[in-house]
Amino acid sequence: MASDWTPLWVCAFGIMTFLPVLGLHLRALISTTGRDQLWHGAQVLIALGLIDIFWPYPPIPVSALTAELVFTGAAFVAAVTLARMMRIEPTNGEIRRWQILLVNLLVMIYLFTVPSSDGFVLDVLGGCFIVQALVWLPGVAPRLFSTKDRALSGLSLSLGPAALSVAMAYLLLTVHLGPETAQIPIVPEDPGMPNMHHM
């Protein structure tokens, strides 16, 4: 939701950025199968989750509890898939891609449940996601995340995940700037809204 630290223009810009990323992964979701389809499906969930968080006006489209349950299920599927892959292909670049995906899904759960006072952890995580955004840039990602997935090329392998990483870094770095530290008026509590929106 829009606030002093996430103004309306940031919400609008974020959603406009996530929509083409969502389109990229939806197209790939339809054209792929197996693990690749699961990976793109998870990216779709992350993009939708970020749209939900950046939604400028209450109530948000999907409640925080529902989002937590969805991302917990997605993280479980990713963990099981990753465990199976590591037994078969311990050095494959695809494993690194799934490791990052699992971390991202866990952070999405955290974003919907995070206490506003845990600033140090959030700052560290935010810094990690800034690094992750750089890792996804063209010229770096193809070497680190080599895969046979033809849909993972160009924007869907670089700028798409990079944009999501930047958004998650922004949220992590600003979520703990709550009313006590930033002197922002307290927003009335909405039970369907993640804690991070009350800054």
In-domain check, residue 23: yes
Q: What pLDDT digit, counting tens, does each position of 120-165 carry?
A: 777 888 888 888 888 777 666 666 666 555 555 555 556 677 888 8
Residue that has been written with the tokens 């959603």 in this structure: 15
In-domain check, residue 3: no
In-domain check, residue 101: yes
Between the CA atoms of 128, 133, 134 and 140, what dihedral angle is there, to the nearest 10 degrees? 120
Q: How many domains does the chain have?
A: 1
Instruction: Return d(Cα 179, Cα 196) in angstroms, integer.
Output: 11
Residues spanned by the domain of 147:
8-197
In-domain check, residue 107: yes
DSSP 30-80: HH--HHHHHHHHHHHHHHHHHHHHH-SSSSPSS-HHHHHHHHHHHHHHHHH
In-domain check, residue 1: no
Closest CA to 114 of 164, 55, 163, 67: 67
Q: What pLDDT digit, counting tens, does each position of 12-63 carry?
A: 888 888 888 888 888 888 888 888 889 889 999 999 999 998 888 888 899 9
Q: Which residues have CB under 8 Å from 194's CB, separation 6+?
A: 53, 60, 64, 67, 111, 112, 113, 114
Q: Say if residues 145 and 94 touch (Cβ distance below 8 Å).
A: yes
